[in-house]
Structure 1
Amino acid sequence: NEPHNKKKIKEPFVIGAVIDLRRCLNLLQIDALLELKTAYNFFRDRHTDAGYDTFPENKPINGEEKLIRHLDCAVIEMVHVLKKALKKEPYDTIRGVFFEGKDLYEGAGFREKNHIQICVRNRNCIKGYFLPRAKGPDSYPDSLLQELNLSAS
């Protein structure tokens, strides 16, 4: 897995993808959550035994949501370290749900920014990509259309 590019995004856009989840660490399922918890316990214990002064933390943005997820990332990486040590097949993808934002309405179980994210670790799971239907003639940045070899017409 290569680190992602840290360049500043000049023109944000949406792109669709067809993804085969294959071996998926599906964090909407109890067994996957138990595996994640086991990896956390292992990570915490090894971190403590090694005598490190700091421990990764999930951190809030603007004092609200914990959107910077250093701890979660470290624990998910530990899942993969443990699978490799046990000579088990690695996960190709990870799927998780995120409950973010303010309550949608008073007493709601839904929040303004609930969403599901998929992390693709194995690029072979990406079967194709596409531009979702445009809402108007200028919906896509010219730079994206050029990169995908599409014309604006």
Structure 2
Amino acid sequence: MYSSRTGLTLAFHGCDKKVLNQVIQKNKSLKASTNSWDWLGHGIYFWEYSPSRALEFAKALSKKTDPTITKPAALGAVIDLGRCLDLLDYQNLTEVKEAYKFFKQTVENSKFSISLPKNRVTKGGPDLLIRELDCAVIQTVHSLRKQNGAPAYDSVRGVFWEGDSLYPDAGFREKDHIQICICNPNCIKGYFTPRELSKDHPAV
């Protein structure tokens, strides 16, 4: 009943400057990510209200050995979350838990010799960035809703705990953020290039 989110959300996508220009100037669309480790399932990923985190992500990718990004940029988007699988909503977590049970049973009963996918840390870090189990479970949520004739989710939203602690015994970490995965591209009402604040006026 309360899964539909009202109002518009500003969100940001870390990318190469070339991609930003193609979207803004040539009306190109962002491609959905379909990696097996995408923690919120398959879709187009954004950081909610955090252009700085989107840009930091793009900068990190540009420093890799074989970078997919050479000129880091943050692309802004105006989004209507529509029917949202919001993982900050207690009731929705129950649906995800039930999807896990179904997925686990399906794997265990398979005639093929397969095992449950796992969430894993990346080399040199403590964070579970490779989220193959979570991706499979979220995709199962979508599949079960389709099988049961329930309305499809337009988006998925969750909080990601990441990075070192801000200070000793802190419950906050350096890169904590809320991320959005857009399943229905019609949720994206428009794109924009984030502008610099005017130094002659107070920030709003």
Aligned 8 A contact 2:159 2:179 in 1: yes
Who is 1:18 aligned against?
A: 78
Residue 120 (structure 2) pairs with residue 59 (structure 1)? yes
What is the rounded CA distance, in whole Å, between the counterparts of 1:76 and 1:112 in structure 2?
26
Distance 1:4 1:97 in 2: 18
Q: Deviations over 1:49-95 (max 9, x none)?
A: 10533221111012411101111110000000100010011100000
Consecutive unaligned residues of structure 1, counting only runs of 5 or more, are 136-153
* 1:40 and 2:69 matched: no
SS at match of 1:104: coil
Residue 129 of structure 1 aligns with an amino acid whose one-letter code is: Y
> Is residue 80 of structure 1 aligned with residue 142 of structure 2?
yes
Gaps of 5+ in 2: 1-30, 36-66, 198-204
- Cα distance in structure 2, aligned partners of 1:5 and 1:69: 12
Confirm or deny: 8 A CA contact 2:120 2:131 kept in the other structure.
Answer: yes
State how 1:1-153 maps to structure 2 within 5 Å. Answer: 4=33, 8-50=68-110, 51-61=112-122, 62-134=124-196
Q: What is the aligned residue count?
A: 135
Structure 1 residue 14: Cα displacement: 0.4
Q: CA 1:52–1:96 in structure 2 vs 1: closer, same or farther (change >3 Å)?
A: farther
Equivalents in 2 of 1:77, 1:5: separation in Å? 11
Distance 2:102 2:34 in 1: 30
- Give the SS at the match of 1:80: helix
Cα RMSD (Å) of the superposition?
Answer: 2.1
1:140 aligned partner: none
**What is the CA distance between 1:17 and its match in structure 2?**
0.6
Letter aligned with residue 84 of structure 1 = K
TM-score computed with the length of structure 2 as normaliser: 0.62
Determine what percentage of the aligned residue pairs are the same residue. Answer: 50
Q: Measure, in 1, the Cα distance between the counterparts of 2:116 and 2:174.
A: 30
Structure 1 letter corresponding to 2:180:
I
Q: Which has the larger radius of gyration?
A: 1
CA displacement at 1:37 relative to structure 2: 0.5
